[in-house]
């Protein structure tokens, strides 16, 4: 008969508990809007403001879609902020807190 060490059992239990906690408390990722959907909702006046976070992703809230994210490419989307502002959308540039 083979004995399992107490450390190994405790490590497995700790991993299971950590997995349960992570599953329960880590928020679901935001739904992603395509560029076409983002612009359509902005033109319809459904989006009041967006945050362009770390010049990498657009985060916002739409009256139709709720909270959302959309990819942001620094080179390709150089005029996007001006385009959104022209549609009445407030555009803010933000940075993620360190370590996130």
What pLDDT is stored for residue 98 in this prediction? 66
Rg of the Cα atoms in the chain: 21
Q: What is the distance between the alpha carbons of residues 51 and 98, in angstroms, rounded to a whole number?
A: 17
Q: What is the distance between the alpha carbons of residues 51 and 92, in angstroms, rounded to a whole number?
A: 5
**pTM of the predicted protein model:** 0.67
Q: What is the distance between the alpha carbons of residues 29 and 100, in angstroms, rounded to a whole number?
A: 14
Q: Across all residues in the chain, what is the average pLDDT?
A: 87
* Both tokens assigned to 8: 């190994």
Mean pLDDT within 52-70:
90
What are the structural domains, with CATH classification, of the chain?
A: 35-94 (3.30.720.210)
Mean pLDDT within 43-69:
91
Mean pLDDT within 50-76:
90
Q: What is the distance between the alpha carbons of residues 88 and 8, in angstroms, rounded to a whole number?
A: 59
């Amino acid at each position: 008969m083979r004995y399992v060490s107490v450390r190994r059992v405790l490590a497995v239990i700790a991993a299971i508990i950590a997995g349960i906690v992570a599953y329960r408390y880590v928020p679901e990722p935001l739904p992603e809007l395509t560029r076409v959907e983002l612009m359509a909702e902005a033109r319809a006046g459904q989006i009041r403001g967006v945050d362009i976070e770390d010049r990498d992703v657009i985060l916002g809230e739409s009256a139709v879609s709720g909270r959302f994210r959309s990819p942001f490419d620094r080179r390709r989307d150089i005029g996007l902020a001006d385009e959104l502002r022209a549609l009445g959308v407030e555009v803010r540039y933000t940075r993620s807190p360190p370590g996130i």
